[in-house]
Chain A
Amino acid sequence: MEVRIAHLYPTLMNIYADRGNIITLVQQCRWRGIDVRVDEFGLGEVPDWKAYDFFYLGGGQDREQQLVCRDLALKGAGLEEAIEQGAVLRSVCGGYQLLRNYYRTAAGETMDGIGLFKAHTVAGDRRCIGNVIVESEIGGRHLTLVGFENHSGKTYLDAGQQPLGRVISGFGNNAEDGSEGIVYRNAIGTYMHGPLLPKNAGLTDYVLEESLKHHHGSTAQLPPLEHSFEDAAHQAAIRITRGR
């Protein structure tokens, strides 16, 4: 079995150690006996969209995000088509922002996203920082996710859009409506940044299983993996978040 990963803008969009997620996917594939290939795409480099099962777009600083915003406008259609065909995507923070309809800065300027996610973001006046716990229903799985968020933008989903989950502890999309992230087909956007996959084994299972199905068809099954280290890290993060 095989999974192909496209890491978009790995040097520009890696502010919170996003590469931890790629390390996790690669190692888990190896341990499960799945062949895995990761290709990186920077500014001006366009992937063969049909060749990849999983796309990753991490978070960046303002300067880098502006560079990516211009470049992504040229890639938007290809990426959207891939998602319609069942490819998996995870985007985080700045990456999440760039895939939405638009972002409005504090000065009132509007930065257009590619509109994959039906949502918009406005600049907020305080930073939402801290550990976060989210209850999520995704791909028929009920998951408790734990991560860390750090953003000032406030995101509002259009009516009828599905959030990634409901905030149990933390801020989420906008610190108002209790929603966190967004899911459209197999594309996920979230403010839970950095290495979310290693300590959320259920989400990693979902992402890998859908990637395998995209590659090999809907009957593909994910070989199981022992994950006591991952669960221990997950439980410790939950305890710390609840305790503060």
Chain B
Amino acid sequence: MKNNIQESAAAMMAKVALAKAVAAATGRVGHGGTTLPGRVARTFDRDLVGRLSRRLAHGAVVVSATNGKTTTCAMIAGIMQGTGMKVVRNREGANLTAGIASALLKDSSLAGRPRSEIGLFEVDEAVFPEVSMQSQPRIVLLMNLFRDQLDRYGELEHIAELWRKAVGELSDTTTTVLNADDPLVAELAALRPGKTLCYGVEDISAGGLVMQHASDSKYCSCGSPFDYEVAFIGHMGIYSCPACKRRRPSPTVYAEKIRLDGMRGSSFTLVTPDDSIEVTLALPGLYNIYNALGAAACCYSLDIPLKQIQTGLEAFSAAFGRVERFSIQDKPVCLLLVKNPAGFNEVVRTLMIEPGRKSLLIALNDKIADGRDISWIWDVDLEMLAGSVHSAVCSGTRAEEMAMRLKYAGLGEESLSAKQDLRKALKEALDRTPEGETLFVLPTYTAMLALRQLIHEHFKTDRELGDLVWK
């Protein structure tokens, strides 16, 4: 394979045409996005992502994290589109290199010219090095590293090492936007002096002094445990190392005056070096404030005015399946994706702000996309729910393990049931939800996809779920 960038227009056209033909022939596959055209194209051009993304007028933004990358990318896209920018992005579930290649191909003319001006790519943590090297992004946004699907990726430290290497190899033209509150992410700033912008939470009242059990990176790279002034989510907080004196970097973009309003949403003051502005989010929980901060810091680096950042964030509802509200047979339903201990803890914490005893449907699958190892549910602080649950119907391929976990969390056996079949479980959960109460549905990723399909086909809802996806 030739490596010269000045490839002949005819050769490029032939490759793009072939790949686009594959795209047309296969159409959209599954619920997420199709990666087949990208996979095909990359077999005859390994550098396709690089070639196509280098032609974008405003370059590419690459986003990676364990938690929140889909929501944050959707927020960034909303803000960019609000400024009139044309954005090409990969879709949910297509966050490997082939998915990005597919998105770029779809956006390209036959001659390989992009129709969009800027690329926005959500990438899997393990694939971030490959994508960042190929696309030479203008901005890299790295948000957090939590334990997630260890059976697929290996240990957290291994991912952190991949990230250190990749960030060290970024070109001088790339700006790195980092979460100051996650020690494993913030330490990357030392590799990029002058080309980094950090963001974080500056409202101590939003955190707790006790670390949650899902905390992962509690130790400094020098081997000493961090001192935490405050922990916000898991190991994210305001920390310093008593031994080597490493401190959390001061964030340039940050949130203060945080107010959490249960499932209804939240608000905070967004501060940048230029100005500050009130932001009201329709999304619940501190974790979504972190997502909004990541999006805001990224857009600030792109010189988007603060007012437009605010407008974009406030117009945002929720990314695919993260938080969706609808009703089935006049019963309000709130669907919240849970996929790892840190995210699940935040969902539980947010639920606990709601008054009354909760009606729950928790669907735990152990398919590859969920992580086949379900040990992680024992790291979720489900003990918080004890005494506050009216009923919890457990479903999915590991329904019984989930029900058992809740029993050990202190929920009464009479409030628990296990039904692997999602349809039966949903029906039972609706039946057990008292009149006027909301049913909270907490599925893992593949269970969420199956539930949406099931609701679409068999249950009467007040609106199409598809309409709730992007706003």
Contacts and interface: CB of A to CB of B under 8 A. Distances in A.
A16 interface: yes
Nearest to A42: B225
Given A20-B375, A240-B366, A233 B408 contact: no
Contacts of B351: none
A198 interface: yes
B400 interface: yes
Interface string B43-66: 000000000000000000000000
Nearest to A148: B373
A169 interface: no
B379 A19 contact: yes
A10 to B, nearest CB: 10
Interface stretch (A99-107, A127-135, A211-219): A127-135
Interface residues on B, range: 35 or more
Interface string A137-152: 0000000000010100
A63 B219 CA distance: 9
A17 B401 contact: no
A229 B379 contact: no
A44 B156 CA distance: 25
B219 A17 contact: no
A150 B373 contact: yes
Contacts of A23: 378, 408-409
Contacts of B409: 23
Nearest to B374: A148
A127 B225 CA distance: 29
Contacts of B408: 20, 23-24, 27, 198
A16, A131, A237 — which one has the most chain B CB atoms within 10 A of its CB? A16
A229 B373 contact: no
B413 interface: yes
Nearest to A150: B151
A162 interface: no
Contacts of A130: 151, 372
Contacts of B154: 127
Nearest to A67: B223
Given A23-B408, A233-B401, A240-B366, A17 B156 contact: no
B238 to A, nearest CB: 19
A17 B372 contact: no
Contacts of A24: 408
Contact of A129 (B151, B213, B374): B151
B246 interface: no
Contacts of B366: 240
B239 to A, nearest CB: 14
Contacts of A148: 151, 372-375
A232 B418 contact: yes
Interface string B391-410: 00000011111011101111
B403 A17 contact: no
A199 interface: yes
Interface string B408-419: 111001001010
B378 A194 contact: yes
Given A15-B147, A194-B375, A61 B157 contact: yes
A229 B412 CA distance: 12
Contact of B150 (A67, A131, A150): A150
A62 to B, nearest CB: 6
A145 to B, nearest CB: 15
A64 interface: yes
A129 B213 CA distance: 24
Contacts of B219: 12, 63-64, 67
Nearest to A195: B378
A136 interface: no
Contacts of A20: 375, 378-379, 405, 408
A178 to B, nearest CB: 22
A153 to B, nearest CB: 13
B378 A232 contact: no
A12 B341 CA distance: 17
B298 interface: no
B377 interface: yes
A77 interface: no
Interface string B150-179: 110011110000000000000000000000
Nearest to A64: B219
Interface in B331-383: 341, 366, 372-379
B339 to A, nearest CB: 15
A229 B402 CA distance: 10
Interface string B134-161: 0000000000000100110011110000
B157 A11 contact: no
Given A130-B372, A195-B378, A240 B404 contact: no
Across the A-B interface, give the 5 residue pairs with the lowest CB-CB distance, nearest first.
A20-B378, A194-B375, A17-B378, A17-B379, A232-B400
Given A17-B377, A19-B378, 12 more contacts: A20-B379, A23-B378, A63-B219, A129-B151, A131-B372, A150-B373, A194-B378, A195-B378, A229-B400, A232-B403, A237-B398, A237-B401
Interface of A: 11-12, 14-17, 19-20, 23-24, 27, 61-64, 67, 127, 129-131, 148, 150, 193-195, 198-199, 229-230, 232-233, 235-237, 240
23 contacts: A15-B147, A15-B150, A16-B150, A17-B341, A19-B378, A20-B405, A23-B408, A61-B156, A63-B219, A67-B219, A129-B373, A148-B372, A148-B373, A198-B405, A199-B404, A229-B404, A229-B407, A230-B404, A233-B398, A233-B404, A236-B420, A240-B366, A240-B398
